[in-house]
Chain A
Amino acid sequence: MSRKIDQAFYDIGHLDILAEGNTPLHRLDPRAKLLTTVVFILTVVSFGKYEIARLLPFFLYPALLIGLGELPFTFLLKKVLLVSPFVIFIGIFNPWLDRQVMLQLGPLAISGGWISFISLLLRFTLTIGAALLLIATTGFGAICMALERLGAPQVFTVQLLLLYRYLFILVEESIRMMRAHSLRSFSAKGRITYQVFLQMLGNLLLRTIDRAQRIHMAMLSRAFTGEIKIVRQFRFGYKEACFLGGFGALFLCLRLTDLTALLGRLVLGITG
Chain B
Amino acid sequence: MHMADALLSPAVGGTMWAATAATTVYCSAKVRQSLDDRKVPLMGVLAAFIFAAQMINFTIPGTGSSGHLGGGLILAILLGPYAAFLAIASVLTVQALFFADGGLLALGCNIFHMGTIPCFFAYPLIYKKIVGDHPSRARLLTGSLLGAVIGLQLGAFGVVMESTLSGISELPFSSFVMLMQPIHLAIGIVEGFVTAGIVSFIWQARPEIIEKAAADQPIGTLSIGKILIGLAAATVFTGGILSWYASEHPDGLEWSMFKVSGQEELKDTDGLHQSLKNVQGQTAFLPDYNFKGSKEGDSGRLGTSTAGLVGGFTVLLLAFAIGLILKKRGSAGHDHAHDHSHPHHH
Contact = CB atoms under 8 A, between A and B. Distances in A.
Answer yes or no: A and B touching, Cβ < 8 Å. Answer: yes
Interface of A: 1-5, 8, 11-13, 15, 17, 20, 23, 37-38, 41-42, 44-57, 59-60, 62-64, 66-68, 70, 73, 79-80, 82-83, 85-94, 96-98, 100, 102-103, 105, 112-113, 115-116, 119-121, 123-124, 127-128, 130-132, 134-135, 140, 143, 152-156, 158-174, 178, 191-194, 196-202, 204-206, 208-209, 211-213, 215-216, 219, 224-228, 258-268
B308 A54 contact: yes
B224 interface: no
B220 interface: no
A42 B106 CA distance: 11
Given A59-B315, A194-B58, A209-B209, A174 B302 contact: no
6 contacts: A156-B24, A163-B48, A192-B59, A194-B59, A202-B205, A209-B45
A219 B39 CA distance: 12
B103 A260 contact: no
Contacts of B298: 50, 112
Contacts of A82: 100
Nearest to B313: A56
Interface in B285-315: 293, 295, 298-299, 301-315
A267 B61 contact: no
Contacts of B234: none
Given A51-B304, A212-B38, A164 B94 contact: yes
Nearest to B13: A45
Nearest to B95: A1
B311 to A, nearest CB: 3
Interface string B30-62: 011001011011111111110111011111110
Contacts of A164: 94
B5 A128 contact: yes
B227 to A, nearest CB: 28
B69 A201 contact: yes
Contact of B2 (A45, A86, A191): A86
Contacts of A215: 41, 44-45
B201 A45 contact: no
A57 B56 CA distance: 40
B167 A49 contact: yes
Indicate the size class of the contact surface on chain B. 35 or more
B247 interface: no
A171 B53 CA distance: 8
Interface string B44-84: 11111101110111111100001011000000000000000
Contact of B8 (A45, A128, A197): A45
A120 B319 contact: no
B6 interface: yes
Nearest to A167: B48
Given A87-B6, A162-B41, A163-B44, A17 B103 contact: no
A225 to B, nearest CB: 7
Contacts of A159: 40, 43-44, 47, 86-87, 90
Contacts of A196: 58
Contact of A67 (B44, B201, B295, B327): B327
A38 B69 CA distance: 30
A63 B104 contact: no
B314 A267 contact: yes
